[in-house]
Structure 1
Amino acid sequence: MVVEGAGVKGERWRTSNAERLTLNIERRPFSVGCLTFDVECSPSKFDQDILCKYSIDSSESPKWILEEGYDLEERLLLFSASIITLTDGMLKSRAGNHVAAQLLRSGTSPFPNHGEAQAAESLKDFIRKLKVCLKELRETWRWLRLLDKVPLAEDVVAVKELIRESDELIRIFSASIRTAEKRKG
Protein backbone atom coordinates (compact mmCIF):
# COMPACT_ATOMS: atom_id res chain seq x y z
CA MET A 1 0.00 0.00 0.00
CA VAL A 2 1.39 3.41 -0.92
CA VAL A 3 0.13 6.56 0.77
CA GLU A 4 0.86 9.83 -0.98
CA GLY A 5 1.02 13.17 0.77
CA ALA A 6 1.71 11.61 4.16
CA GLY A 7 5.14 13.16 4.57
CA VAL A 8 7.25 15.76 2.82
CA LYS A 9 5.80 17.10 -0.42
CA GLY A 10 6.15 14.48 -3.14
CA GLU A 11 7.33 11.79 -0.71
CA ARG A 12 5.66 8.38 -0.74
CA TRP A 13 5.35 6.13 2.30
CA ARG A 14 5.15 2.37 2.07
CA THR A 15 3.29 0.23 4.57
CA SER A 16 4.72 -3.23 5.15
CA ASN A 17 2.53 -6.30 5.07
CA ALA A 18 3.19 -6.79 8.80
CA GLU A 19 1.21 -3.63 9.53
CA ARG A 20 -1.94 -4.88 7.81
CA LEU A 21 -4.14 -6.96 10.06
CA THR A 22 -5.83 -10.00 8.63
CA LEU A 23 -8.71 -11.87 10.16
CA ASN A 24 -8.95 -15.61 10.53
CA ILE A 25 -12.05 -15.74 12.71
CA GLU A 26 -15.39 -14.02 12.87
CA ARG A 27 -16.79 -14.48 16.36
CA ARG A 28 -15.34 -15.64 19.64
CA PRO A 29 -17.27 -15.82 22.92
CA PHE A 30 -15.17 -15.59 26.06
CA SER A 31 -16.03 -15.55 29.77
CA VAL A 32 -14.19 -14.77 32.96
CA GLY A 33 -16.13 -14.94 36.22
CA CYS A 34 -19.52 -13.40 35.74
CA LEU A 35 -18.47 -11.30 32.71
CA THR A 36 -19.07 -12.62 29.22
CA PHE A 37 -17.28 -11.03 26.29
CA ASP A 38 -18.69 -11.50 22.82
CA VAL A 39 -16.12 -10.30 20.33
CA GLU A 40 -16.93 -9.82 16.67
CA CYS A 41 -14.24 -9.12 14.12
CA SER A 42 -15.04 -7.72 10.72
CA PRO A 43 -12.77 -6.25 8.06
CA SER A 44 -13.06 -2.55 7.45
CA LYS A 45 -10.83 -1.50 4.54
CA PHE A 46 -7.26 -1.92 5.85
CA ASP A 47 -8.01 -2.17 9.55
CA GLN A 48 -9.91 -4.36 11.97
CA ASP A 49 -12.99 -3.32 13.92
CA ILE A 50 -13.50 -5.06 17.24
CA LEU A 51 -16.80 -4.69 19.02
CA CYS A 52 -16.85 -5.94 22.60
CA LYS A 53 -20.22 -6.55 24.21
CA TYR A 54 -20.26 -7.17 27.94
CA SER A 55 -23.02 -9.06 29.67
CA ILE A 56 -23.28 -10.22 33.26
CA ASP A 57 -24.39 -13.75 33.99
CA SER A 58 -23.64 -14.99 37.49
CA SER A 59 -24.70 -18.54 36.68
CA GLU A 60 -21.80 -19.12 34.26
CA SER A 61 -18.46 -20.41 35.40
CA PRO A 62 -15.34 -18.83 33.88
CA LYS A 63 -14.30 -20.26 30.52
CA TRP A 64 -11.73 -19.36 27.94
CA ILE A 65 -13.55 -20.32 24.78
CA LEU A 66 -11.24 -19.93 21.82
CA GLU A 67 -11.97 -21.57 18.53
CA GLU A 68 -9.22 -23.32 16.63
CA GLY A 69 -7.31 -21.00 14.37
CA TYR A 70 -7.31 -18.30 17.05
CA ASP A 71 -5.51 -15.06 16.53
CA LEU A 72 -2.77 -14.42 19.14
CA GLU A 73 -3.44 -10.68 19.06
CA GLU A 74 -7.10 -11.31 19.86
CA ARG A 75 -6.16 -13.71 22.64
CA LEU A 76 -3.85 -11.09 24.18
CA LEU A 77 -6.62 -8.49 23.89
CA LEU A 78 -9.04 -10.72 25.76
CA PHE A 79 -6.38 -11.53 28.37
CA SER A 80 -5.74 -7.80 28.94
CA ALA A 81 -9.48 -7.10 29.18
CA SER A 82 -9.92 -9.80 31.81
CA ILE A 83 -6.93 -8.48 33.79
CA ILE A 84 -8.58 -5.03 33.82
CA THR A 85 -11.87 -6.56 34.98
CA LEU A 86 -10.12 -8.54 37.70
CA THR A 87 -8.13 -5.57 39.04
CA ASP A 88 -11.23 -3.36 39.12
CA GLY A 89 -12.89 -5.86 41.46
CA MET A 90 -9.96 -6.28 43.83
CA LEU A 91 -10.01 -5.42 47.53
CA LYS A 92 -9.45 -1.71 48.18
CA SER A 93 -6.62 -1.90 50.71
CA ARG A 94 -2.98 -0.91 50.70
CA ALA A 95 -1.90 -4.40 49.58
CA GLY A 96 -4.85 -4.75 47.19
CA ASN A 97 -4.09 -1.44 45.49
CA HIS A 98 -0.39 -2.28 45.17
CA VAL A 99 -0.98 -5.74 43.68
CA ALA A 100 -3.77 -4.42 41.43
CA ALA A 101 -1.52 -1.67 40.05
CA GLN A 102 1.37 -4.06 39.39
CA LEU A 103 -0.92 -6.68 37.84
CA LEU A 104 -2.61 -4.05 35.69
CA ARG A 105 0.75 -2.84 34.35
CA SER A 106 2.25 -6.25 33.64
CA GLY A 107 -1.00 -7.93 32.54
CA THR A 108 -1.96 -5.36 29.92
CA SER A 109 1.58 -4.83 28.60
CA PRO A 110 1.91 -7.94 26.38
CA PHE A 111 -0.94 -6.80 24.10
CA PRO A 112 0.67 -3.53 22.88
CA ASN A 113 4.17 -5.03 22.99
CA HIS A 114 3.00 -7.81 20.66
CA GLY A 115 1.86 -5.06 18.28
CA GLU A 116 5.35 -3.57 18.48
CA ALA A 117 6.83 -6.98 17.65
CA GLN A 118 4.59 -7.25 14.59
CA ALA A 119 6.09 -4.01 13.29
CA ALA A 120 9.69 -4.95 14.12
CA GLU A 121 12.34 -3.66 11.76
CA SER A 122 14.55 -6.75 11.89
CA LEU A 123 14.56 -10.30 13.20
CA LYS A 124 16.76 -9.18 16.11
CA ASP A 125 14.26 -6.42 16.96
CA PHE A 126 11.39 -8.91 16.65
CA ILE A 127 13.03 -11.32 19.10
CA ARG A 128 13.80 -8.52 21.55
CA LYS A 129 10.19 -7.34 21.55
CA LEU A 130 8.86 -10.88 21.95
CA LYS A 131 11.17 -11.25 24.96
CA VAL A 132 9.61 -8.12 26.49
CA CYS A 133 6.17 -9.73 26.08
CA LEU A 134 7.46 -12.93 27.68
CA LYS A 135 8.98 -11.02 30.60
CA GLU A 136 5.70 -9.21 31.28
CA LEU A 137 3.70 -12.44 31.05
CA ARG A 138 6.01 -14.11 33.56
CA GLU A 139 5.58 -11.19 35.93
CA THR A 140 1.80 -11.36 35.50
CA TRP A 141 1.86 -15.10 36.21
CA ARG A 142 3.69 -14.43 39.48
CA TRP A 143 1.25 -11.71 40.58
CA LEU A 144 -1.67 -14.00 39.77
CA ARG A 145 -0.11 -16.79 41.82
CA LEU A 146 0.17 -14.36 44.73
CA LEU A 147 -3.52 -13.48 44.30
CA ASP A 148 -4.31 -17.19 44.40
CA LYS A 149 -2.62 -17.45 47.83
CA VAL A 150 -3.80 -14.13 49.34
CA PRO A 151 -7.54 -13.41 48.97
CA LEU A 152 -7.34 -9.90 47.52
CA ALA A 153 -9.59 -10.65 44.53
CA GLU A 154 -13.29 -11.45 44.80
CA ASP A 155 -13.35 -13.86 41.86
CA VAL A 156 -10.96 -16.69 42.80
CA VAL A 157 -12.08 -18.85 39.89
CA ALA A 158 -11.14 -16.10 37.42
CA VAL A 159 -7.71 -15.87 39.07
CA LYS A 160 -7.16 -19.62 38.51
CA GLU A 161 -8.27 -19.31 34.88
CA LEU A 162 -5.96 -16.35 34.33
CA ILE A 163 -3.06 -18.29 35.85
CA ARG A 164 -3.73 -21.08 33.36
CA GLU A 165 -4.06 -18.68 30.44
CA SER A 166 -0.89 -16.76 31.36
CA ASP A 167 0.97 -20.08 31.55
CA GLU A 168 -0.26 -21.00 28.06
CA LEU A 169 0.74 -17.59 26.70
CA ILE A 170 4.20 -17.96 28.28
CA ARG A 171 4.59 -21.30 26.49
CA ILE A 172 3.47 -19.78 23.18
CA PHE A 173 5.90 -16.86 23.42
CA SER A 174 8.77 -19.11 24.58
CA ALA A 175 8.24 -21.37 21.56
CA SER A 176 8.01 -18.36 19.22
CA ILE A 177 11.28 -16.96 20.56
CA ARG A 178 13.04 -20.33 20.16
CA THR A 179 11.77 -20.62 16.58
CA ALA A 180 12.85 -17.07 15.73
CA GLU A 181 16.28 -17.60 17.29
CA LYS A 182 16.76 -20.77 15.19
CA ARG A 183 16.00 -18.74 12.06
CA LYS A 184 18.41 -16.06 13.19
CA GLY A 185 21.18 -18.35 13.28
Structure 2
Amino acid sequence: MLRSGTSIGANIAEAECAFSKKDVLAKMYIAFKECSETKYWLELLYKTEYLSKDQYNSIDSDCTELLKLLSSITKSTKYR
Protein backbone atom coordinates (compact mmCIF):
# COMPACT_ATOMS: atom_id res chain seq x y z
CA MET A 1 0.00 0.00 0.00
CA LEU A 2 2.90 2.34 0.68
CA ARG A 3 4.15 1.94 -2.88
CA SER A 4 0.80 2.38 -4.63
CA GLY A 5 -0.31 5.15 -2.27
CA THR A 6 2.81 7.25 -2.72
CA SER A 7 2.86 6.60 -6.45
CA ILE A 8 -0.37 8.58 -6.79
CA GLY A 9 1.27 11.83 -5.71
CA ALA A 10 4.46 11.13 -7.63
CA ASN A 11 2.56 10.68 -10.89
CA ILE A 12 0.48 13.80 -10.30
CA ALA A 13 3.70 15.75 -9.68
CA GLU A 14 5.13 14.39 -12.94
CA ALA A 15 1.95 15.37 -14.78
CA GLU A 16 2.40 18.96 -13.60
CA CYS A 17 5.72 19.08 -15.50
CA ALA A 18 4.52 17.20 -18.58
CA PHE A 19 5.47 18.37 -22.07
CA SER A 20 2.17 17.58 -23.73
CA LYS A 21 -1.49 16.89 -23.03
CA LYS A 22 -0.85 13.26 -23.96
CA ASP A 23 1.87 13.05 -21.31
CA VAL A 24 -0.40 14.68 -18.70
CA LEU A 25 -3.12 12.15 -19.49
CA ALA A 26 -0.71 9.22 -19.26
CA LYS A 27 0.57 10.29 -15.83
CA MET A 28 -2.91 11.05 -14.49
CA TYR A 29 -4.18 7.70 -15.70
CA ILE A 30 -1.30 5.95 -13.92
CA ALA A 31 -2.21 7.90 -10.76
CA PHE A 32 -5.84 6.76 -11.22
CA LYS A 33 -4.77 3.11 -11.50
CA GLU A 34 -2.50 3.40 -8.46
CA CYS A 35 -5.38 4.91 -6.48
CA SER A 36 -7.57 2.00 -7.47
CA GLU A 37 -4.88 -0.42 -6.32
CA THR A 38 -4.57 1.46 -3.03
CA LYS A 39 -8.32 1.02 -2.45
CA TYR A 40 -7.81 -2.72 -2.95
CA TRP A 41 -5.05 -2.83 -0.34
CA LEU A 42 -7.13 -0.76 2.09
CA GLU A 43 -10.00 -3.19 1.78
CA LEU A 44 -7.66 -6.12 2.32
CA LEU A 45 -6.16 -4.50 5.41
CA TYR A 46 -9.65 -3.87 6.80
CA LYS A 47 -10.88 -7.40 6.08
CA THR A 48 -7.84 -8.88 7.83
CA GLU A 49 -8.55 -6.58 10.81
CA TYR A 50 -5.28 -4.68 10.43
CA LEU A 51 -7.29 -1.46 10.24
CA SER A 52 -10.24 -0.58 12.47
CA LYS A 53 -13.56 0.34 10.89
CA ASP A 54 -13.01 4.03 11.71
CA GLN A 55 -9.50 4.02 10.24
CA TYR A 56 -10.70 2.25 7.12
CA ASN A 57 -13.70 4.53 6.61
CA SER A 58 -11.58 7.66 6.98
CA ILE A 59 -8.84 6.59 4.57
CA ASP A 60 -11.24 4.93 2.12
CA SER A 61 -13.36 8.07 1.95
CA ASP A 62 -10.30 10.14 1.02
CA CYS A 63 -9.20 7.53 -1.50
CA THR A 64 -12.65 7.40 -3.09
CA GLU A 65 -12.72 11.18 -3.44
CA LEU A 66 -9.27 11.17 -5.02
CA LEU A 67 -10.33 8.40 -7.40
CA LYS A 68 -13.32 10.50 -8.49
CA LEU A 69 -11.12 13.53 -9.07
CA LEU A 70 -8.59 11.56 -11.10
CA SER A 71 -11.37 9.95 -13.10
CA SER A 72 -12.79 13.36 -13.91
CA ILE A 73 -9.38 14.69 -14.91
CA THR A 74 -8.65 11.77 -17.22
CA LYS A 75 -12.09 11.96 -18.84
CA SER A 76 -11.99 15.71 -19.37
CA THR A 77 -8.43 15.60 -20.70
CA LYS A 78 -9.31 12.86 -23.19
CA TYR A 79 -12.25 14.68 -24.72
CA ARG A 80 -10.92 18.21 -25.04
TM-score, length of structure 2 as denominator length: 0.92
Q: Does 1:168 align with 2:65?
A: yes
Post-superposition Cα deviations, 1:51-89, rounded to whole Å, max 9, x if no partner, equal: xxxxxxxxxxxxxxxxxxxxxxxxxxxxxxxxxxxxxxx
Match of 1:114, SS state, is: helix
The amino acid of 1:140's aligned partner reads: T
Paired residue for 2:23?
125
5+ long unaligned stretches in structure 2: none
* Counterpart check, 1:145 vs 2:43: yes
1:157 corresponding residue in structure 2: 54
Distance 2:18 2:62 in 1: 25
Q: Greater helix percent: which structure?
A: 2
Contact 1:113 1:129 (8 Å CA) reproduced: yes
Greater RCO (Cα-Cα under 8 Å, separation 6 or more): 2
Number of residue pairs aligned between Structure 1 and Structure 2: 80
Letter in 1 for 2:48: V
Shift of 1:125: 0.5
Structure 1 residue ranges, 4+ long, deviating more than 3 angstroms after superposition: none
Identical pairs, percent: 34
Equivalent in the alignment of 1:108: 6
* Contact 1:134–1:170 under 8 Å retained in 2: yes
- Which aligned pairs between 1:1-185 and structure 2 lie closer than 5 A? 103-153=1-51, 155-183=52-80
Larger radius of gyration between Structure 1 and Structure 2: 1
Query: Is the CA contact (8 Å cut-off) linking 1:107 and 1:137 kept in structure 2?
Result: yes
TM-score, reference length from structure 1:
0.42
Instruction: Give the RMSD, CA atoms, in angstroms.
Output: 1.1
Q: Secondary structure at the match of 1:109?
A: helix
1:159 shift after superposition: 1.9
User: Which one has the bigger strand percentage?
Assistant: 1
